[in-house]
Chains A and B, each alone.
Chain A
Amino acid sequence: KNEVEQSPQNLTAQEGEFITINCSYSVGISALHWLQQHPGGGIVSLFMLSSGKKKHGRLIATINIQEKHSSLHITASHPRDSAVYICAVRFLSQGNLIFGKGTKLSVKP
């Protein structure tokens, strides 16, 4: 069965902390996306990965294909990073994205 699991569900951090959000999936994939959703609903695509590592500003995304696992890291977290972070996966057997339940991040000043 094609499944995507995210952890943790909720995360509270102090400003400046290093944050890691995890995503595991069940079978082979062609791509993995990390999305950010702010209150109000707007979704922004942060990364699309099929292997290795990508970095954009304070955000880093890694994927380990053998382990079927991806992580999203936020360095020097800031209150404006508070949002829901969603992992979405395109399995080899499917054409559409399957989404994790999301991780709600709250960064306190």
Chain B
Amino acid sequence: KAGVTQTPRYLIKTRGQQVTLSCSPISGHRSVSWYQQTPGQGLQFLFEYFSETQRNKGNFPGRFSGRQFSNSRSEMNVSTLELGDSALYLCASSRRGASYNEQFFGPGTRLTVL
């Protein structure tokens, strides 16, 4: 069974631009969660989607948004990029939801904002 895939793996953007990251969950998994990891703050929860609905949202500004498609693939978008958005963005999938099941993580997208 293929694991969680994320594209792109690396991305360099400049301040003010926007970016879209993609996550394809394990086949049969309906929940996708997104996390941001920085050296200063560690891992922080962004949002969780289940069956195309946002189930939970972390404490991030509205510039961070996401969506999930009918095939469970998910995208997250960051608009008006700031230097502080430089981070490793990880997605994780689970069968029924992050509350109930083990999560399987993707390799991450490393975003650098210049």
Interfacial residues, chain A to chain B (CB-CB below 8 A):
30-31, 33, 35, 40-45, 48, 86, 88, 90, 95-102
Contacts and interface: CB of A to CB of B under 8 A. Distances in A.
B43 A88 contact: yes
Interface in B70-114: 88, 90, 92, 98-99, 101-105, 107-108, 110
| Interface footprint category on B | 20 to 34
A71 B55 CA distance: 30
Chain B interface mostly: strand
A41 B10 CA distance: 12
Contacts of A86: 42-43
Given A30-B99, A45-B103, A45-B104, A95 B90 contact: no
A42 B99 CA distance: 21
Interface of B: 33, 37, 42-45, 48, 55-56, 58, 88, 90, 92, 98-99, 101-105, 107-108, 110
A98 B45 contact: yes
Contacts of A45: 102-105
A88 B88 CA distance: 17
A31 B99 contact: yes
A41 B105 CA distance: 10
Contacts of B44: 99
A45 B58 CA distance: 21
Nearest to B58: A96
A23 to B, nearest CB: 13
